[in-house]
Amino acid sequence: MAKKKIPLRNREIGWLDFNGRVLQEARDHHNPLIERLKFLGIFSNNLDEFYRVRVATITKLQRLKMPPPPEFFGQPLNKLLKEIATMTTQYERLFNSTYRELRSELEKEGIRIIDETGLTTEQASFVRRFFREKVRMHLFPVMVRDYHTLDDLRDQSIYLAVGLRKLGSKGRDIAMIEVPAAILGRFVILPSPRSAVDIILLDDVVRFCLDDIFAVFGYDRFEAYTVKFTRDAELDLDNDISKSFLEIISDGLKQRSSGNPVRFIYDRRMPKEMLRHITRCMGIRKQDLLIPGERYHNFKDFMSFPTVGPDRLRYPPLKTIPVPGLEPGKSVFDAIASGDILIHYPYQPFQHIIDFLREASLDPKVYSIKMTLYRLARNSSVINALINAARNGKKVTVFIELQARFDEEANIEWARRLQEAGVRILPSLPNLKVHAKLCLVKRREGDALRHYAVISTGNFNEATARVYCDETLLTADGRITHEVDRVFDVFSNPYKDKKFKHLLVAPNHLRHRLSRMIESEIKAAKKGEKAKIVLKLNSLTDPDMAMKLRDASRAGVTVTLIVRGSCILLPEPDDPFLAARSIVDRFLEHSRIYFFYAGGKERLFISSADLMTRNLDRRVEVAVPVYDEKLKTRLKDLLEIQLDDNVKSRLLTKGNINEYHRAGPRRRVRSQYAFLEYLRKTQGGIP
């Protein structure tokens, strides 16, 4: 019997597949109406980041005439860019038709998004007054002349390209106006009848009042078209040894604001001569970078759509479930000492981690606190707890990743604040990002120092913990805690190989140890024994790991993948041993869980690492084994619940990417809500 060919999909195309699943959520009539609108915002924000990072990298490689990286499987870069442009254009059409449908459904609910042509007399007076009192002071139009360049335009902003004419003149002048949505918000609620809510976008407020800006110069006819562009956001870091790494990152951030354009979206109604003039001044020459769109862009603002209309248009608030043993007024250290604890966000509160850090900062027995930080909440209680610990005389050491993409500026400021409070900041590693999520507390108990560790799949971020599905292990198990301490030693000496028996640590060991476990399952399958692998990931894009998993399935290992994002390994629809699913729902599936049957010993890990080349080879990552049998059972139940999902689960298979998985139990299983109910029953929460 001939072996079936299982293709590896390009990772960039796989990422666009994932964003298509987000767009499916915007189109899903079972979701509350305003939540569907917010999914449009998530789709738009994802696409912006995709172009700023991934497409920018491909464009740069093409410009430098570099060969395609191995993960592109030899696909020419120009063909890949064209395929991306084609898929993006298709998604843009679907996106715009979805937006029109949602606007129509909102109107049925008495919520109208109107433009400047639909204003009543009262509303027109309100808009004019609002413009003069709130908006005009923030507008600084740039006249676009033949000799001008537009290098200083900001890619995160919305711009109006304004055509200006004077009575009797055939020519057209052009001005660019930045819409100050970042300052004022994108949505303006208008005076309207009690039974309705009328909303106008700030773009249209500016459109309506263009005469207030330009009439004084003799212009009496105006036309305005929204444009949006995306710049290369990858940091080019120099190697000046006279600078600190913090200075190098800071300089790189300044360069980001003038990165090369990689995408230009424009209102398709814009006159061609206007478009040519603007793109010439921006230095955009390649047709592939131009994407025709509709009247509005920058839909990421719709993630913050106003709270209007009845409650049924939004998800009901999530009632979190308390973690047994971590009740208020009881010592977190005592609870951890009694046995390992596993917290599941967002179903259980992140507040338990804040309580742990607060207790550590005040406890006279605590000697030291070590922590890694990658992305933090804007008003971070984690930072406040660490500062308080330092002020209370604790020895606090923090590694804060200055290279966390799009969080560099915030992390630089956090590092300064911590340093000013007396916290020791470990130096960043120029060629190695630290993505592991670790905290270690050393506490004097009797004549010894006892170690307490927190290891998480997600960031120590109380904001994202409300919407990201992650797992966090709290343990005093010396097998784990002493190796967590050893990971912190890696930061001081990253190139010295350290031995780890229990933790799987990248970049030195994680790839090798995972490969060995896959090979063990293959050997078992070849002997006719039970062999099984289940991997829950954000992304599977490393070619070598994908090929190993493919080889395992061909050998008879049951390989099941739950991959939220990009997945390059696509099984055949009827493959008996390889299956791949993706779940996109209310919360962002973010946890990484590795399960290996291991001859009945059932090895199970939670991890910060996806199976991506960068995670395995260029980052410090940690996967921690779960030894407690009750916690292992809970995580296995979580995986089973997700595999039973027949509401929000999509098939990742050759030929039918993103088709909904409708098989499984006869009853409807929406895994996020099913796991919430599971925790209520097993953790003693109150419905």
Residue 130 DSSP SS3: helix
Query: Whose structure tokens read 């063909």?
Result: 79
Residue 674 DSSP SS3: helix
Instruction: Let me know: does 474 contact 454? Beta carbons within 8 Å.
Output: yes
Which tokens is 270 given? 């814009």
Compute the distance between CA of residue 376 and CA of residue 517 in angstroms, rounded to an integer.
Answer: 34
Over residues 489-518, the mean pLDDT reads: 89
Which pLDDT belongs to residue 245?
Answer: 46
Of residues 65 and 565, more confidence is placed in 565
Of residues 589 and 147, more confidence is placed in 589
392-435: per-residue pLDDT in tens?
Answer: 999 999 998 877 666 677 878 888 989 999 999 988 777 788 99
Element (H, E) at 87: helix 77-108
C-alpha dist (Å) from residue 378 to 95, 234, 383, 384, 410: 30, 23, 10, 12, 8
Residues taking part in catalysis = 435
Compute the distance between CA of residue 148 and CA of residue 280 in angstroms, rounded to an integer.
Answer: 10
Which tokens is 100 given? 């029109």
Pairing of strands 433-434, 424-425: unpaired
Which pLDDT belongs to residue 242?
Answer: 41
Which pLDDT belongs to residue 306?
Answer: 94
Q: CB burial class (10 A; 0-12, 13-18, 19+) of residue 564?
A: buried
Over residues 172-191, the mean pLDDT reads: 92
User: Residue 544: pLDDT above 90?
Assistant: yes
Of 244, 234, 621, the residue nearest 435 (C-alpha): 621
Compute the distance between CA of residue 542 and CA of residue 613 in angstroms, rounded to an integer.
Answer: 5
Query: Whose structure tokens read 């490393």?
Result: 542
Cβ contacts of residue 411 below 8 Å, gap of 6+? 373, 376, 400, 401, 402, 404
Over residues 637-652, the mean pLDDT reads: 96
Over residues 63-73, the mean pLDDT reads: 73
Which tokens is 567 given? 């997945």
User: Residue 383: pLDDT above 80?
Assistant: yes
Which pLDDT belongs to residue 310?
Answer: 94
Alpha helices in 469-596 (DSSP H): 478-492, 510-526, 543-554
Task: Please tell me the pTM assigned to this model.
Answer: 0.90
192-204: per-residue pLDDT in tens?
Answer: 877 789 999 999 9
Which pLDDT belongs to residue 389?
Answer: 96
Over residues 50-64, the mean pLDDT reads: 83
User: Residue 243: pLDDT above 60?
Assistant: no
| Crossing angle (nearest 10°) for helices 33-49 and 77-108 | 160
Which tokens is 458 given? 């997600």
User: Residue 20: pLDDT above 90?
Assistant: yes
User: Residue 172: pLDDT above 50?
Assistant: yes
User: Residue 157: pLDDT above 70?
Assistant: yes
User: Residue 234: pLDDT above 80?
Assistant: no
Which pLDDT belongs to residue 237?
Answer: 42
Pairing of strands 532-537, 504-506: unpaired
Lowest mean pLDDT among 41-55, 213-227, 237-251, 521-535: 237-251
Over residues 11-40, the mean pLDDT reads: 95
Dihedral over Cα of 169, 172, 176, 181: its sign = positive
Domains of the chain: 31-313 (3.30.1840.10), 332-492 (3.30.870.10), 504-683 (3.30.870.10)
